Structure 1
Amino acid sequence: MHETAVQPPPAPGKRDNPSLVTVVGTELARNKRGFLPWYHLLAPVIITVPLFLGSLGSSEAKAGQTFEVFRNVTLEFWGVLVPMTAGLAAALSVRADQDAWRLLLSYGVPRWRYFVGKVAMLGVLGLVSSTVLLVMLSLGAAISGKFPEAMGTVAAAVYLPWLVGLSMTALAVLVVLVWGMGPGIGVGVAGLLCGALVSDKSFWYAVPFSWPMRVVLPLAGIGPNGVPLPDDSPVTEMSAIPLAVALAAVLTALLLVAGSLHMSRKEI
């Protein structure tokens, strides 16, 4: 006679206890279709193609500075697009999960993982979008005959706004959870406006919405309007970058704690 193998019961503490990596992977799998992934993939393409074509007709192009114009204007757009994307993506993603969370919150899974997993998933999408932008800028440099010498600090100017912008993603997700979709999109709008109006001011550090744009300015050597800055401008000081990164890291940590506590107390 053949003996039937008996599967042991799940070990205590393992049931309904997926790791954070599993939660993030599940979030990514659930969001691999629809508006969000296409937006993050296509947004850098949509802003760079017309900007490159426009730079070909600029007066600077006649002096052989086509790529410099293209790079500056693109990075200007990127600095304000990062927080705007954070608000929009958080609003759409959280709203799409409202029905699913009614079921998921009834499980024994630590609820804080849902919040952190959501922020991490949106962060991964933002990283992908930043990489697409870097590829588009590299193509522009190659077409202009300036690759790789003209790239300079382009990679830092592309990825640092994403890194600092994680604080805006965490804020937007928390705002949507607490107050709804409209205020969450408002976080993005505030980031767009503050990036354009506050990032070059002396009090920029007090306005988190301006931080993604602030790290772009000294790296690209431009103002919020895309115009090159004079060498003696205080906006070109690199000391603003580590300060912005440190402030963003602290704010992100605080928001993750606040969001986790909110999810733990959230009623089904």
Structure 2
Amino acid sequence: MTHHTLAPPLAGKRDNPSLATVLGTELARNRRGFVPWYHLLAPVIITVPLFLGALGSSEAKAGQTFEVFRNVTLEFWGVLVPMTAGLAAALSVRADQDAWRLLLSYGVPRGRYFVGKVAALGVLGFVSSTVLLVMLSLGAVLSGKFPGALGTVVAAVYLPWLVGLSMTALAVLVAVMWGMGPSVGVGVAGLLSGALISDKVFWYAVPFAWPMRVVLPLAGIGPNGVPLPKDSPVTDPSAIPLAVGLAAVLTVVLLAIGSLHMSRKEI
């Protein structure tokens, strides 16, 4: 008799895992392969040569080594965030095709698989941003500018990640609906938009440009890494809350669309 009273909750639990459980499973399945290593190593691979380049710059002679290193690194990071979103989503969703055939046959609310995938890639992005912050801090230590010169660096590292979650949601949705190529295309569009559109007056109309746009006023640079004049409208910090707000709305909308698509997806 006792056995019968316990059975339904266990079955219910299997068919109704919390989002945290789905996220944990996603992270566990993502711990091997190219995607986690890319997130860990990309910040190291871009910062080491950039720091060595900054040491040989003309500004280094004026004691501006760290400032040059910081500006060029943040410029690279602003365009790399959406590129990473597209690449990681494409590879991660492709790796899941066989697993989803089994998972989608359970009675689990399917939208959780989509939200869990976006959340897992978001966690990896946060780890990657943290590695970048460590590398920038090491650059500041080696330049004798730690911690004074870091200033807005923490915000300039984590805000593109936060705004870039909308690009991760978009890339995962595109990968689920149309496959790997279009998802990588989202990343390329993000890279180009960051470089070409983030300092234009209509930047807010192009979501791909948002991660780079929040970097510019914090670092005081243009998308080419060159310091901006003090009176440049691009240095206006009001763009940051606008970008964060727009990204939050877009992320929620994309998660809803993705969840709906997954619930209707045929196995």
Q: TM-score range by the shorter chain?
A: over 0.9
Give the corresponding residue for 1:101.
100
Does residue 212 (structure 1) correspond to residue 214 (structure 2)? The answer is no
25 and 66 in structure 1: CA distance in 2 versus 1, 3 angstrom threshold: same
Give 1:9's aligned amino acid: A
Indicate yes or no: 2:243 matched with 1:244: yes
- How big is the shift at 1:6? 4.8
The match for 2:113 is 114
Is 1:18 the counterpart of 2:43? The answer is no
Task: Tell me the amino acid that sits aligned with residue 250 of structure 1.
Answer: V
Cα distance in 1, alignment partners of residues 190 and 3 from structure 2 = 57
Task: Return the offset for 1:33.
Answer: 0.9
- State the secondary structure of the residue aligned to 1:122: helix
Aligned residue number for residue 156 of structure 1:
155
Local SS of the residue matching 2:7: coil
Separation in 1, partners of 2:145, 2:86:
35
CA 1:182/1:50 → structure 2, altered by over 3 Å: closer, same or farther? same
* Structure 2: distance between partners of 1:126 and 1:245: 16
Which residue matches 1:35? 34
C-alpha distance after superposition, 1:233-261 (max 9, x if no partner): 00000000000000000000000000000
**Structure 1: runs of 5 or more not aligned:** none
Q: Distance in 1 between matches of 2:144 and 2:12?
A: 59
Matches within 5 A, 1:142-181: 142-181=141-180
Aligned residues: 265
Cα distance between partner residues in 2 of 1:157 and 1:206: 21
| Structure 1 residue 34, shift from structure 2 partner | 0.8
Counterpart amino acid of residue 137 in structure 2: S
**Counterpart residue identity of residue 27, structure 2:** L
Deviations 1:17-74 (A, max 9, x none): 1100000000000111111110000000000000000000000000000000000000
Q: CA deviation at 1:14?
A: 3.0
Cα RMSD after superposing both structures? 1.2
Write the mapping of 1:181-196 to structure 2, written as runs, cut at 5 A. Answer: 181-196=180-195
Once the two structures are TM-superposed, the CA of residue 9 in structure 1 deviates from its matched residue by: 1.3
Distance in 2 (alpha carbons) for counterparts of 1:157 and 1:64: 22
Alpha-carbon distance in structure 1 between the residues aligned to 2:87 and 2:46: 17
Tell me if 1:44 matches 2:71.
no
In the alignment, the residues of structure 2 paired with residue 6 and residue 27 of structure 1 have an alpha-carbon distance, to the nearest angstrom, of 32
Equivalent position SS for 1:139: helix
Amino acid aligned to 1:234 = P
Alpha-carbon displacement from aligned partner over 1:180-227 (angstroms, at most 9, x marks no partner)? 110000000000000000000000000000000000000000000000
Tell me the equivalent position of 1:67: 66
**Aligned AA (1:150):** A
Q: Give identity over the alignment, percent.
A: 86
**Structure 2 letter corresponding to 1:204:** W
**Residues of 1 paired with 2:186 and 2:266: CA distance?**
24
Distance apart, 1:93 and its partner CA:
0.1
